Structure 1
Amino acid sequence: MGLNPKGRNWGTLVNWDDLAKFYAGFILAWTVILYAGVTWLIYNRHLAFIKIRNLPLAIASVTSLHIYLIKIFLAYTTNGHFPCAAEFWIMSVYLPCGIALFQANLMQLKSISEQQKGLLLEEEGGSNQDVDVAHPSFASRWWSRWTHLPGVKRTYILIALGMTVQLIVTGILYATTPTLQGDWASYGHISHAKGQALCRKSQQWIPSAFWQLVWAWVYGPYLLFGVRNITDTHSWKLQVMLSVISGLPGAPLWIAAVFSTAFKPVNIWWVPPMWLAPGIIVMQLTTVFFPVYEIWKSSSQMRTTRAILNHWEEQRAGGGGGGGGRGCESIDQHHLAASSSIISSGDTSLMAPSTSTEAPSRRHRQLCSMASLEKALAVNPYPLLYFAATKDFSAEHVLFLIQVRRWRQACDAAPRIENENALTTSARARLFSSAVEIYTSRVNHKSTECPINIEAKIRRDLDAIFSPAVPTGHLVEKNEKIAVGFTSESQSQSHFQPLSPIQQHMPPSTRTRHTARSNSEDTLFDEAATAAIEGPFTFTHPSAMAETLFKPHPAVSPLGGARAIIRPGFDEHVFDAAEASVKYLVLTNTWQKFVKFGEHNTSGLV
């Protein structure tokens, strides 16, 4: 059919030439592809790295932008049949709303990064919260509250205020501009086509592009500067960069195309709002398909990990399981989530130092095993914790494993009734108080900003046991942690290896928290460190332990006595299912990335 030589001339005929068919076909195909990706994200919304992206906000942003995108792609086809007033409201509401939601969604990167750094400070024993003091004036109190709000909440509030102002301004402009309402008398006696064209060139349209202009030229560069030091494994920073760069030309070119006669030959084929389309498409693409790609990569990595583990188990089974340990149990997710033990503590053959003759592929399989993760948690979990907090944004899972490990060590060393294996009443109460702290700081959605990602059934079981012991309205202090009141004499006999690449980026307070280690070539796994961390524990006096091991929780205060009743089902295995689920999640995600990161550095993992 070719092209209509008049192009978009605001006439009464609908354009259905080859260019119109291309525009319609492209937007139809892009809609199908885009929402196929959205559907896939919704289907996989339970994944931890999808949860942190605030999926509802991302979908709302993509949808608002897509409504506007459909309109501008069909502008050439509809020619003069689309009312000027309808286009004004779409561009003044859906475009700013979509960009505002997109800004809020990208702010998640900075917010999550700050939360994860807070978890890192928490484990180091510090506090990432400022001390609030009394302020004499009303304004000072409100300013203090504002400054203590998380950055993402401040952004949400500012965006909501901005959108409210945008709607008010849009309503005022529409009500006070007759031409937007179809009254073109001010233009004189003109044709319908001429009126449609002149209506879209009034200055009342400029505020509709305000959000895009501010996003691309003000807020985008500001956000990019704020995340300049973040190097994450989710390509989030790359998403910010691509979105900002792609949006830079849009608003200036749209303004030039509307008000400059030099663009007239271009406008009949490429309507002025189409200059915003490339930036919008890139924003949608990065918002939806970056996490889709991560899902695919994570799934592929999980299959590879399972294959490595199965191969290693078969190899060990064929060799008689050298070392006398049971090795890893069957690596099935549902089995792991329900099992109370994943690996025997007696299996140390997988943890031996590497040698120069060891094949790299075998070494990789060894590092990817559950045994290697177990040993890292036992010997020195802090490099893994630092990696999870600064790159993978999954520190809450590593912290949970660390805290549960300490809690279980406390269980093993706690006093028991003579001639029985049962815990004493006081020890059981203190262990319950400690378990409540783990629950409130890592599991309960109401008391922690970063809850662990576990199955709903496991969470319900923990809620039934611990939720009644958490006083309503009380949150765990950010700087509280589970301290182990048992000492190991060998832990003080430590010496250090030269810093590896990952340690060079770690703060001194984190990288110096080593357990004992030998001169082994394997700086992550050595037997001396294992002996140190798993050496004989000395039980402290009960009165001292009450002060150092378990800090009094509000649940056991006089006012909360009824809440402090230990519920049925509480024993030393209460966290086993949650630990197995989280450990499998860490093994197949964070740990694999950590191992790969270490393999890319010649100095080792830690």
Structure 2
Amino acid sequence: MGTEFGINKDTKPELRLGAVGIFYIVFAALWTAVLLAGMIFLWIRREMPILRIRGLPLSFAAITFMHTYWLAVQLAYWYGALMPEVAEFWIMGVWFPFGIALFHASNSRFLYVADGQRKFLQRSETLSAPVSQGGLLARWRKMDHNRRSLILILSCMGLQLALTAIVFLVSRKFHSSFGVSGTEVHGSFMERKVAQGRGWEWFPSIFWQMFWAWIFAPYILFRARKLRDTQGWRLQTIACCISNLHAAPMWLIALYVPAMEPVNTYFIPPQWIAVSVMLLEIFTVFVPIIEVWKHKALTQETLNSIARWESQKKGFNGGNKSINSDSTRSSWGGRHGRSSSVHTSTSGGSILTMEALEHTLSKNPEPLQQFSALRDFSGENIAFLTSVKEWKATYFPTTTKDTEKEDGAAKVLPRECFESALKIYVEFISATHADFQINLSSTDFKALQTIFEQAASDICGRERSSPDPCTPFADIPHRNDSESTLDVRYGGDVPADFDEHVFDDAEMSIKYLVLTNTWPKFIKERRSFDLASAEAGNN
């Protein structure tokens, strides 16, 4: 049978600096450098929507724990003959399970975000505020995903730490001065090390590895089976779940199957776990990097298409069909079968312009809203744009003449108008209260915060600590329980800076973000759907 470090009673207690040992040292250094470079690449670009929604801090914390274990395993061939087995016992019993737990908490964020985005398909129209905390169950439901995950992880790790400590105190395998008689080991230094590397003392570590890999991960796979996103997140989640399945079984086989001893001489048993850790690192760090490059390419393609279209319009002065031409419209069915018009042209470029996006938002935004919420996980952007459009249409209609406004209505309008605008701020912009924040620049965010934040705090309370306004997206989305809210009215003074143009800068910023991110993905999917439908009709 094997041992943790691939040694036997005849192994000399010395560093192994042969060709295999040098290979593992060089390989560990190179992979650590590559992984660190990838993490730095992502962290520098963490404000990008496809990275901001992933929650990089939690993912990087998990990777740090697991990679530290990975390094210890890769170098164990070199120093394993000298390393005390008790150190490996505590690493396997506490450090590595904690990293795995953090990782799966980060991995399950995909399901939380997908579930939370569905609210943008059925948005309420009333401003709400939290009421009393209620019982423990109500408090639990009101917690954000990050806090609930940490509580569960800490609870599990507390149990794991307690079990590991009890096993350590009960067994005399790692100490001879106390413990239950009959659990001690005897013999030479290497014979004791071989005996310490096996036994029931390692079962708590095995239990948690099997729990995360064979119970929790399949649950994530089951929940994600019908989800389809445009950001590679589903692929990343499924790949991470699958890549961890072999680790614990192969570790046990390497330890307890005599036929594995020749393999253990060069590939020690914990390296089967290290393989899964390396796969987790690849899918967690480098899949998002690929998505970042794809996103940049798509954005540049969109901008180039817009530039070509505008150049053609100016150069040919009508040689191509106008974006507003009725003869160039293609009818796309809405979510409920209602037709909508999205303009195109013979050049193939006009459909990616701002005019086409605004036309869709004006005539029938439901298909785009559904796509952004269920596939792109950016439903807050479309919901914000449609909310602002409805707000302007309600309180500042362009066709309404000043002479048609009565004096009484003019006095009531500002407060009702401000309350509606306040709802938009609370739902989409506030760093304190919004479930999913829209991605605004620091300047635009501060301008709106100055006008609305005090009123939002008066209405909704100050349940969450306010983050740094310069990095308002460092926190993860949170969700309020709909059953713990009530309709409220704002009774304070309307800020003097509030007017009909209060959302103009934010609206244009989000429109540009949608134009270069969600809109081209939506266009490609609709074109693929139309092409598939046409081919099916021809057959």
User: What is the TM-score with the length of structure 2 in the denominator?
Assistant: 0.82
Aligned runs of 1:479-518 on 2, under 5 Å? none
Question: CA shift at 1:297, angstroms?
Answer: 1.0
Which residue in the other structure is 2:117 paired with?
A: 116
Task: Tell me the distance in 2 between the aligned counterparts of 1:603 and 1:83.
Answer: 64
Question: Any conservation in 2 of the 1:85–1:182 contact (CA below 8 Å)?
Answer: no
Helix, strand or coil for the counterpart of 1:567? coil
Residue of structure 2 equivalent to 1:90: 91
Aligned to 2:284: 287
Displacement of 1:474 after TM fit?
1.4
Question: Residue 37 of structure 1: CA displacement?
Answer: 1.0
User: Are 1:555 and 2:490 matched, yes or no?
Assistant: yes
2:432 is equivalent to residue 446 of structure 1: yes
Question: 1:7-22 maps to which residues of 2 (within 5 A)?
Answer: 8-9=7-8, 10-22=11-23
1:60 and 2:54 correspond:
no
Counterpart for residue 452 of structure 2: 466
Q: Structure 2, unaligned stretches of length 5 or more? A: 332-343, 463-485, 534-539
8 Å CA contact retained: 1:11, 1:79: no
**1:394 CA displacement:** 0.3
RMSD in angstroms over aligned alpha carbons?
Answer: 3.5
Structure 1 residue 353 corresponds to structure 2 residue 329: yes
Given the superposition, is the C-alpha separation of residues 469 and 385 from structure 1 closer, same or farther in structure 2, using an over 3 Å criterion? same
Q: In the superposition, relative to structure 1, how do residues 350 and 552 fare at CA in structure 2: closer, same or farther (>3 Å)?
A: farther
Q: 1:150-189 maps to which residues of 2 (within 5 A)?
A: 154-181=148-175
Alignment of 1:132-211 (within 5 A): 141-143=135-137, 145-146=139-140, 154-181=148-175, 190-211=187-208
Residue matched to 1:391: 375
The structure-2 alpha-carbon separation of the partners of 1:300 and 1:593, relative to structure 1 and needing over 3 Å to count, comes to same
Q: What is the SS of the residue equivalent to 1:470?
A: helix
Name the aligned partner's letter for residue 103 of structure 1: H
Partner of 1:592: 520
Task: State the Cα distance separating 1:94 from its structure 2 match.
Answer: 2.0
TM-aligned CA distance change 1:114 to 1:363, over 3 Å: farther
CA deviation after TM superposition for structure 1 residue 265, in Å: 2.0
- Does the 8 Å contact 2:101/2:153 carry over to 1? yes
Q: Is the 8 A contact 2:254 2:261 kept in 1?
A: yes
**Contact in 2 for aligned 1:206/1:255 (Cα 8 Å):** no
**SS of residue paired to 2:122:** helix
- Gaps (5+ residues) in structure 1? 1-5, 136-140, 326-346, 477-550
SS in 2 for 1:122: coil
Query: Would the aligned equivalents of 1:235 and 1:290 in 2 still touch at CA under 8 Å?
Result: yes
Cα 1:428–1:187 change in 2 (3 A) is: closer
1:550-586 C-alpha deviation (Å, 9 max, x unpaired):
x985322xxxx3xxx2223222211111111111111
Alpha-carbon distance, 1:7 to partner: 7.6
Higher RCO structure (Cα 8 Å, ≥6 apart): 2
Partner of 2:509: 581
Distance verdict in 2 for CA 1:56–1:362, change over 3 Å: farther
User: Matched residues in 2 for 1:65 and 1:18: separation?
Assistant: 26
Instruction: Name the TM-score, length of structure 1 as normaliser.
Output: 0.73
Q: Cα deviations across residues 201-259 of structure 1 (Å, max 9, x unaligned)?
A: 13212212322211211111111101111111122221222222221121012122223
For residues 11-410 of structure 1, what are the structure 2 equivalents within 5 Å?
Answer: 11-122=12-123, 141-143=135-137, 145-146=139-140, 154-181=148-175, 190-320=187-317, 348-349=324-325, 352-353=328-329, 362=346, 364-410=348-394
Q: Give 1:155 shift.
A: 4.4
* Residue identity (%): 32
Query: Per the alignment, do residues 148 and 187 of structure 1 end up closer, same or farther by CA in structure 2, a change over 3 Å counting?
Result: closer
Compared with structure 1, are the counterparts of its residues 182 and 576 closer, same or farther at alpha carbon in structure 2 (3 Å cutoff)?
Answer: farther
Q: Distance in 1 between matches of 2:113 and 2:391?
A: 27
Superposed displacement of residue 471, structure 1: 3.7
In the alignment, residue 432 of structure 1 is paired with which amino acid?
Answer: F
> Residues 284 and 150 from structure 1, CA distance in 2 versus in 1: closer, same or farther, beyond 3 angstroms?
same
